[in-house]
Structure 1
Amino acid sequence: MNPSITGFDYQRVTVAEDVALNVAVGGSGSPIVLLHGFPQTHLMWRHVAADLAADHTVICPDLRGYGASDKPAGTVPDAYAKRTMAADIVALARELGHDRFALAGHDRGALVAIRAGLDHPGAVTHLASLDVLPTLDMWDVLHGVTAAVGFHLFLMAQPPGLPEELIGAAPDAFFGHFLDIWTRDPEAIPAEVRAAYLRACREAVPSIVADYRASAGVDVAHDRADRAAGNQLRMPVTVLQQDWGAALGFDAAGIWRAWAPDLEHRTVSCGHFMAEEAPAETVKALRDLLAR
């Protein structure tokens, strides 16, 4: 039996043709949607969600292609485009009775949140991004030997076939590698949670690869179009990030400010999985965002 967020109700919500999302909902008050990253599920928000539920309606879905949500075949370029995945989230919120909502995402979920903020500015009231750069900028800053930290991005950008075969041959080793090297405090991801993440990823190799492949193709095209048109995130935005901007030689806050004029950029002293490693700091940042 998979772990769950204590006190939250679980349901499946249809958000597109033949796509339903697994979602945990708890609390009451103004809504906030929390989107998980790689290689995780909605469960990564278990601490943050429980705190926010004291005075907010908290909505924690598994993204399409992940966890217990549906995993459509990635045979068309936009099946896992962040534009498509963002539309899922807007549809999910509306099905749950919310035309406007705050949105926070970590890693892959942050890329979906960014796209939702750009494509649906009337729906997203506040936006938080945890430890990622917008897709276009992510590719721009990865160069030389420092790009080795993102080897998985390049692997999963390859045409269908080889990435799925390689990862599928040793999924626990592949996905577990990131749980290990991106975590400063291993105890932040207990054994039963780690097992749930690995089990979910093991069952979703093709869709996870399709998600990453989209970020090397259609997602870049969408970002370029927005940059050319001068589109920005007009809602209040908070970014939580490790120090890797300085380590890799770029100005992370400056990159973000080009997309988000109303920006609060904070550096967090923990590993990549900050909602699990530094939940109190993450909650404070989200509450400060919602107060803006």
Structure 2
Amino acid sequence: MGLLIPGFDYRRVPVADGVSLNVAVAGSGSPLVLLHGFPQTHLMWRHVAADLAADHTVICPDLRGYGASDKPAAGTDTGTGTDTGTDATADAEGAAYAKRTMAADIVALARALGHDRFALAGHDRGALVAFRAGLDHPAAITHLACLDVLPTLDMWDVMRGTTAAVGFHLFLMAQPPGLPERMIAACPDDFFGHFLDLWAGDPGAIPAEVRTAYLDACRAAVPSIVADYRASAGVDVDHDRADRDAGRRLTMPVTVLQQDWGAALGYDAAAVWRAWADDLEHRTVGYGHFMAEEAPADIAEHLRELLAR
């Protein structure tokens, strides 16, 4: 299984037809699920999870398509629906990696572990899954934290002009199946390692053995990682737009922690999030993208403050 979070119990939990997630669990108290980002696995939460397990039941899964979790083919629909009356069936193309499907995984995971209601925090790709879970399953999510991301629809709205070069991977992996997978598979360590290097404010926060674990996991998951990103250029945008048009919002307490993207890309990040959340705490932070590894004590404190709201 590779590197583990010390003190955590590992298990595989079925969440949909033919899909089980690798999950680490520890602690006791109110449940908190932590979702990792790209190009990482649940290990990115290792410091924060150990801290929060002192007073919470902490659940750290690998998302479907990542790490040691199952990686269904991109054309399959294994979703389990929503709590809001929205269409439970994603478009056939990319359905397996629609954030709606991935969010349903997390609700099913929590229920399988005995938690009908839980707090949810996500970073990067995991934050997009968390955002979708908050919209689709408001009865299940008590508190929501999203780290260093914008909702999918808004992200595509602001990624324009030469500043969009920073997100070249978004456009690459949005292309039809075939070419992106072949290009990335030709030099996966260079591709995924590029982001680990570029986005780290403190390179020492990701030690060599953890970096190796991330690269090994990504190398084995190129098709599913690309499918995850491709869904965010298609079905995920459709779902976000339908919710925005319907006026659907996040009703639970929400904390968003972001680098100063607005200054770089020319928009008001806090205003973007206020359009989605009724009870929002938006904070601009000075860490690099991998903030849970670069400043784990601060991130744990931010999450504790959220859970106290």
CA shift for structure 1 position 246: 1.5
Matches of 1:275 and 1:3, distance apart in 2: 17
Among 110, 118, 122, which residue is 2:127 paired with? 110
Determine the structure 2 residue equivalent to 1:26: 26
Q: Which residue does the alignment assign to 2:227?
A: 210
Runs of 4+ residues deviating >3 angstroms: none
Aligned to 2:211: 194
Identity fraction in percent: 82
User: Which residue in the other structure is 1:70 paired with?
Assistant: 70
Match of 1:60 in 2: 60
- Within-5 A mapping of 1:84-123: 84-123=101-140
Question: In structure 2, how many angstroms separate the alpha carbons of the residues matched to 1:66 and 1:291?
Answer: 31
> Per-residue deviation at 1:219?
0.1
Secondary structure, aligned partner of 2:252? coil
5+ unaligned residues in a row in structure 1: which ranges?
none
2-side partners of 1:56 and 1:280: how far apart?
Answer: 15
Paired letter, 1:21: L
Match of 1:176 among 166, 177, 193: 193
Matches within 5 A, 1:1-292: 2-75=2-75, 76-292=93-309
Any idea what the Cα deviations from partners look like across 1:80-135, whole Å, max 9, x if unmatched? Answer: 00000000000000000000000000000000000000000000000000000000
Deviation at 1:77, TM superposition (A): 2.3
Aligned pair count reads 292
Distance 1:258 1:244 in 2: 17
AA matched with 2:256: V
- The Cα of 1:233 is off from its aligned counterpart by 0.3
What is the CA-CA distance between 1:284 and the residue it aligns to? 0.8
Stretch of structure 1 that moved more, 211-220 or 259-268: 259-268
TM-score by length of 2: 0.94
Q: CA deviation at 1:244?
A: 1.6
SS at structure 2 position matched to 1:65: coil
Deviations 1:225-266, CA, capped at 9 Å, x for gaps: 000000000000000000121111100000000000200011
Displacement, 1:2? 1.6
Q: Which runs of 5+ in 2 are unaligned?
A: 76-92
Distance 1:124 1:16 in 2: 19
Amino acid at match of 1:166: M
Residue 90 of structure 2 is matched in structure 1 by none
Q: Deviations over 1:204-240 (max 9, x none)?
A: 0000000000000000000000000000000000000
Give the Å deviation of 1:184: 1.4
| Secondary structure at the counterpart of residue 96 of structure 2 | coil
Which residue matches 2:89?
Answer: none
Using the TM superposition, give the Cα deviation of residue 43 of structure 1 relative to its aligned residue in structure 2, in angstroms.
0.2
SS in 1 for 2:60: strand
Distance (Å, rounded) in 2 between the aligned partners of 1:47 and 1:11: 20
Task: Note the C-alpha offset of 1:151.
Answer: 0.1
Give SS of 1:64's match. coil
Please give the alpha-carbon distance, in whole angstroms, between the structure 2 residues aligned to 1:183 and 1:270. 9
